[in-house]
Amino acid sequence: MINTIRKINNNGVTLILNLFKKIIQSARAQIPPPTVEKVKIYARSEHTISRAQISDNALKVLYRLQKEGFEAYLVGGCVRDLLLGREPKDFDVVTNADPEQVRKVFRNCRIIGRRFRLAHVHFGREVIEVATFRGDGTAQNDAQVLNQEGRVLRDNVYGTIEEDVWRRDFTVNALYYNIKDFSVADYVQGMEDHRNGILRLIGEPSTRFREDPVRMLRAVRFAVKLGFKLHPDCQQALHGAAALLSSIPAARLYDEVLKLFLYGYALQTFEMLRHYGLFQVLFPDTERSLADQDNDFPRMLLVRALQNSDNRIADGKTVTAYFLFAALLWEPVRLSALQKMREGQVEYMAYQDAANEVIARQVRYTAMPRHISLAIREVWALQPKFTTRVGSKPSRLLLHPRFRASFDFLLLRAETGGVDAELAQWWQAYQNADENEQRKMTQPSRKSTGGKPRKRMYRKKSTSAPTDV
């Protein structure tokens, strides 16, 4: 009897849920598709893009698709960068051919992605990404899935170029270069925003951020990278929306952090992320340590680290993700280690335990790979060892694989008042000294032996006669 009642209740709940689902889907179906402005075509004489600036492999893809009877355009960041006179990092193609049709045209093609399927056409190390025009997405079906907050989880709805425009994020990223007549098609006044240096979202900003909260990070990144101003509507939507990022997988946020901080605009990006409350979602421990400090040392170290990173990239030098994260998370580690030492832990173990705890919390927000977290721990673990300058320990530390990065981190701390500058100067001199000079530098000073040379201890030789066997 009880089981029968339960089945009736369950069936009733299911019927109600299905009814609500049909009502919601019906309401969505009645919403008219978003409209875009009438397209404006900019002829070759009205823009600065030349075929000579475009990758030969991208041209091959465009011409081949058109030869097979499909539409094909360059779109997105490559068109934007070409108009700015910059060399694009990569070239993206959009077409009315679906991924399977693209694969039939190119034998060197691989289809990737679940959230939105893409075709990658491989030419050695260069990959040309080919996407199919996306539909307007007003109706949710098996090809498109949204969660309760409105974030797109899967999106394989195909459509026309007019619908595809609506699905792009910013107007300056929605310009289509047509290889057929070398024109640029503009449906959303992207060229005008481009000329005025305005970064404007296509559609209602709050809705677009809910669809994909990572767009908030992209807005900051593009504004800083391009030197554009955020449109007032975009600024207003950013304030108070940072919590939406908590729904994004930590692995994806790690990738976004690398794009934010490792491309030459780290310092400006850091300031802008904090302005809109986005930094505290990515690095909550760091934000708390910055807010709680009476002095400005933590912020000074971060600013100097980010500025040094930008300078290295400007000089054509490499920067590493682990060094950046070591700087971003150092203050939480230092504060935790100090507390542990006050509780009686020795310095080395205090820093080791603090590092483990901070990284364990951080990977919940930005899931860094294991080799990155191990490198960060090594940089931090070597910091207390720099205080030992006598005996054989300095020479052994010099041979550590992570010594160079750890010493650079020591210099960073010395420059911002986190450690005595004399210590960094000593290690700089020690590295440059020859072997004899290094030996002299690591001998105990007379202060530690009462002002007198330290006496050598000799083992007393045995004077007993050998025993006959």
For residue range 297-342, what is the model confidence (pLDDT) as tens digits?
Answer: 668 899 999 999 999 999 999 999 999 999 999 999 999 999 999 9
Three-class DSSP category at 462: coil
Q: What is the pLDDT of residues 40-52, one digit of tens each?
A: 999 999 999 999 9
> Is the alpha carbon torsion for 291, 292, 296, 302 positive or negative?
negative
Q: What is the pLDDT of residue 462?
A: 53
Instruction: Identify the H or E element spanning 121.
Output: strand 118-123
pLDDT of residue 115: 65
Say yes or no to pLDDT of 262 above 80.
yes
User: Structure pTM?
Assistant: 0.80
- CATH 1.10.3090.10 range(s) for the chain read 287-441
**Mean of pLDDT over the chain:** 86
Encoded tokens for 392: 């054989």
Looking at CATH, the fold of the domain delimited by 28-201 is given as Beta Polymerase; domain 2 (3.30.460)
- Residue 364, pLDDT > 80, answer yes
- DSSP sequence for 259-290: HHHSSS-HHHHHHHHHHTT-HHHH-HHHHHHH
**Lowest mean per-residue pLDDT among 102-111, 130-139, 360-369:** 130-139
Are the beta carbons of 359 and 389 closer than 8 angstroms? no
User: What are the residues whose beta carbons fall under 8 Å from the beta carbon of 205, sequence distance 6 or more?
Assistant: 233, 234, 236, 237, 238
Reply yes or no on whether 169 is catalytic.
yes
Q: Rounded to the nearest 10 degrees, what angle do helices 250-261 and 214-226 cross at?
A: 10
Q: Tell me if 208 sits within 8 A of 94, measured CB to CB.
A: no
142 against 351, higher pLDDT = 351
Range with lowest mean pLDDT among 11-25, 104-118, 326-340: 11-25
The pLDDT of residue 458 is above 50:
yes
Of the listed 169, 186, 285, 310, which one is catalytic? 169
pLDDT of residue 11: 52
Report whether pLDDT(145) > 70.
no
What does the block give as tokens for 381? 């673990």
**Helix/strand/coil (H/E/C) assignment for every residue in 55-108:** CHHHHHHHHHHHHCCCCEEEECHHHHHHHCCCCCCCCEEEECCCHHHHHHHCCC
In this structure, how many other beta carbons lie within 10 angstroms of the beta carbon of residue 333?
26
State how far the Cα of 205 lies from the Cα of 231, in Å rounded to an integer. Answer: 10
Question: What is the spatial distance between Cα 309 and Cα 317, in angstroms, rounded to a whole number?
Answer: 9
List every span in the chain annotated with CATH 3.30.460.10: 28-201
pLDDT tens-digit series, residues 158-214: 889 999 998 899 999 999 999 999 999 999 999 999 999 999 999 999 999 999 999
Q: Between 446 and 416, whose confidence is greater?
A: 416
Query: How far apart are the C-alpha atoms of 352 and 347, rounded to whole Å?
Result: 9
Residue of higher predicted confidence among 337 and 467:
337
Q: Which of 179, 171, 285 is nearest to 230 (CA)?
A: 171
Q: What is the C-alpha R_g of the chain? A: 30
pLDDT at 429 over 50: yes
pLDDT over 90 (residue 417):
no
Q: Which fold has domain 287-441?
A: cca-adding enzyme, domain 2 (1.10.3090)
Give residue 296's pLDDT band: very low, low, confident or very high (50, 70, 90).
low
Residue 468 has pLDDT above 90, yes or no: no
Q: How confident is the model at residue 139 (pLDDT cuts 50, 70, 90)?
A: very low
Per the residue annotation, which of 81, 92, 193, 285 is the catalytic one?
92
**100 pLDDT more than 70:** yes
- Identify residue 62 by its one-letter amino acid code: L
48, 83 in Cβ contact below 8 A? yes
Contacts 24+ apart (CB under 8 A), 391-398: 391/442, 392/442, 394/430, 394/438, 394/441, 394/442, 395/438, 395/442, 398/430, 398/431
90 as an active site residue: the answer is yes
